[in-house]
Amino acid sequence: MRHAPLIVLCTFALLGAAFSGALYLKIGNSKQILAAELSSANERAARLQADLAAANEQTGSLKAKVATLESSLETNRTQLAATTEKLSAVELRAVVLDHDLASAKSTIALHEQNAKALAAEVAALRADLEDSRNSNASPEAVAAYKSTIAELEKQLATARNGATTGIGASTAVFTNRSGRATVLNVGPSNAFVVLNFGSTRGAQLGQRLTISQGTEIVATVLISDVRSQFSIAQVLPDSLRGVLQKGDSAVLVRTP
């Protein structure tokens, strides 16, 4: 029994050694596992760094593209503004040209009306001159007719050449040939007429003229607006006997 404590101690020593060996093995396995995990973590970190670098590079590329697109957009905006300005200028020019064209057409129409009215007046004056000769009119009246015909023929030539001309002889000659005028235009529903009888020929507010077609009187008009080369006369409704037309003749009604 004297060796019993020694056996116990040996047993404990063996048990301790076995435990230490097992612990060593366990620690060794843990170190291997940790080393493997560390290696895996390092690999993942390296991959993440590579991905981050690629992402940074892509971000830089995208920023460059954005800057290029912004520059292109600004250029396009500038070009659009310039194009819009040019378009506005073209549209404005088109409006001006349309207005000029309408004005030119109106001027041409007025010239044609002037030429027709002057031709009619020349014919009427020639007829009056012939009547005056047949009725033994004074030489002064015949000379006045000839002078007026010459002036009207000169105006007619000017009108046919496209220049603006007034329609009218002197007031005295107008009186001598019985106050004749010509209808240049007729208002809606025969409400008024425009006559080539203006203030330069003695037209006055309130004067009355008869409108004739051939030998038939179709209306009486009252001058309501007088300009230098023409006048506007209102048609007296009760006097209207037909449809008024351009070219109708008008004769001033004499007051006693």
pLDDT (tens digit, 9 = 90+) per residue, 186-199?
999 999 999 998 88
pLDDT of residue 25: 74
In this structure, which long-range contacts are made by residues 113-117, counting pairs with CB atoms below 8 Å and at least 24 apart in sequence?
113/184, 113/185, 113/246, 114/155, 114/159, 114/165, 114/167, 114/196, 115/156, 115/159, 115/160, 116/182, 116/247, 117/167, 117/182, 117/184, 117/196
For the ranges 9-23, 105-119, 208-222, which has the lowest average pLDDT? Answer: 105-119
Report the pLDDT value the prediction gives residue 92, as an integer from 0 to 100.
61
199: exposed, middle or buried (Cβ count in 10 Å: 0-12, 13-18, 19+): middle
Q: What is the pTM of this model?
A: 0.36
pLDDT digits (tens, 9 = 90+) for 73-109: 888 888 888 887 777 677 767 765 776 677 567 667 6
> Average per-residue pLDDT in the chain?
76
Q: pLDDT tens digits, residue range 127-152?
A: 656 655 654 545 655 565 566 667 66
Sole residue written with tokens 């008869």: 210
DSSP, collapsed to helix, strand or coil, labels residue 223 as strand
Element (H, E) at 222: strand 216-226
Does position 3 have pLDDT exceeding 80, yes or no?
no
CB 120 within 8 A of CB 156: no
165: Cβ–Cβ under 8 A, 6 or more apart, which residues? 114, 118, 155, 158, 159
Phi-psi domain of 92 (left: phi exceeds 0; alpha: psi -120 through 50; beta: other): alpha
- In the chain, what are the domains? 178-256 (2.40.30.20)
Question: Where do the DSSP E strands lie in 61-149?
Answer: none
Q: Distance (Å, rounded) from C-alpha 27 to C-alpha 18?
A: 14
Are residues 211 and 218 in contact, defined by beta-carbon separation less than 8 angstroms?
A: yes
Q: How far apart are CA 184 and CA 152, in angstroms?
A: 17
Q: Is-contact 236 220, C-beta < 8 A?
A: yes
Per-residue model confidence (pLDDT) at position 170: 37
Distant-in-sequence, close-in-space partners of 140: CB < 8 Å, separation ≥ 6: none
Percent of the chain with pLDDT over 70: 69
User: Which residues 6+ apart lie within 8 Å of 99 measured at CB?
Assistant: none
What pLDDT, on the 0 to 100 scale, is given for residue 172?
Answer: 36
